[in-house]
Structure 1
Amino acid sequence: MGFAQTLRSILLPVIDFFYPPFKRVMDLQTFRYAVCGGSNALLNLVIFFLAYNFIFKQEFIHIAGFDITRYIAAYIVALSISFPIGFILNKFIVFQQSNLESRVQLFRYGFVTATSILFDYLLLHLLVGYFQFWATPSQAFIIVILSLYSYLCQTYFTFKTVK
């Protein structure tokens, strides 16, 4: 049994078990996206919190000749883990019917993620750097906004089914 089949055989029965109460509100694919995306977003937020509060102690981190704020450093750490996990979950669990080549899906997923990163970076700087809001609640709010954007892009662009 290959990786994709193993992943599906483990995760789909668990996710689908919880679907019946949501059947009236959303279709199965949207529910799977919400579960996988929500789980990955939660993982991202937990890693962000841990990195921001326990790994990066100084306000500015010096990396490869650049100074970055600790909230951006925490974001980079969280993204480096959540990006590959998100792609795998979307490809093998949520959008199994997509017939685009894997390299096209990965490129498009990367493009959507890059635009999300740009929006996240700008919004994080706005909320934390300019408005002085707390970093973790700001990141949580941004995740909700960008999840809606991401869902639309993943459904109609990254993992669409070509006839």
Structure 2
Amino acid sequence: MLRNIILQILQFFYQPFSKVMPWQTFRYLACGGGNTVLDICLYYVCYNFVLHQQMVHLGPVSMSAHIAALFMSMAVTFPTGFLLSKYVVFSESNLRGRVQLFRYFMLVGICIVLNYLLMKIFVDQLHFYATVGKICTTALVVTFSYLTQKKFTFKVKQQA
């Protein structure tokens, strides 16, 4: 039921974009964009109001607030991102759910590493302004993520 509501809302907003991008790409951008906004909002709340920008002490391990907030926001946005991808964006996939989840987990890990490496290249090596480097990094990582999810994580297996 929730899936149908989300799809109806997306269909309403898709009309102006229907001539420039496929329906699946629009769903991916809308769901991923929404999940990204949720991630940023959760990060902000966790960092500023839950952790009060203070170190987090977990027994013998201490973690800076900005890293702890990252993990806290990911605890929500990882499952929401997976569920939106599985049921709204790539619902035609016939792979088992646990296979999709494992592949999605691997992809998120790769995207985190790609974000880090590309930012180091664009900002530290090529001397881009940080914001320009972030825009370039995001464009590359989002493209990589979409293609990987479509062709690997949520692919449609051909029936024998």
Question: What TM-score bracket applies, with the shorter chain setting the length?
Answer: 0.7 to 0.9
Helix, strand or coil at the partner of 2:63: strand
1:77 aligns with 2:61: no
1:152 aligns with 2:143: no
TM-score by length of 1: 0.78
Greater than 6 Å deviation, 4+ residue runs: none
- Which residue of the other structure, out of 12, 15, 32, is the alignment partner of 2:7? 12
Equivalent-residue separation in structure 1 for 2:114 and 2:55 (angstroms): 21
In the alignment, is the contact (CA less than 8 A) between 1:44 and 1:82 conserved in 2? yes
**1:96/1:104 Cα in 2 relative to 1: closer, same or farther (>3 Å)?**
same
**What residue identity is the alignment partner of 1:82?**
T
RMSD: 2.5
Q: How many residues align?
A: 146
Equivalent-residue separation in structure 1 for 2:64 and 2:34 (angstroms): 26
| Structure showing greater relative contact order (alpha-carbon pairs closer than 8 Å, 6 or more residues apart) | 1
Equivalent residues in 2 for 1:92-131 (5 A)? Answer: 92-120=87-115, 122=116
Segments of structure 2 that go 5 or more residues without pairing to the other structure are 125-130
**1:111/1:23 Cα in 2 relative to 1: closer, same or farther (>3 Å)?**
same
Segments of structure 1 that go 5 or more residues without pairing to the other structure are 1-5, 131-136
Equivalent-residue separation in structure 1 for 2:71 and 2:107 (angstroms): 16
**1:147/1:156 Cα in 2 relative to 1: closer, same or farther (>3 Å)?**
same
**What residue identity is the alignment partner of 2:99?**
V
1:35 — aligned with what?
Answer: 30
Equivalent-residue separation in structure 2 for 1:146 and 1:47 (angstroms): 21
**What residue identity is the alignment partner of 1:152?**
L
Identical aligned pairs, as a percentage? 39
For residue 152 of structure 1, report the CA deviation from its aligned partner: 2.1
Equivalent-residue separation in structure 2 for 1:42 and 1:11 (angstroms): 16
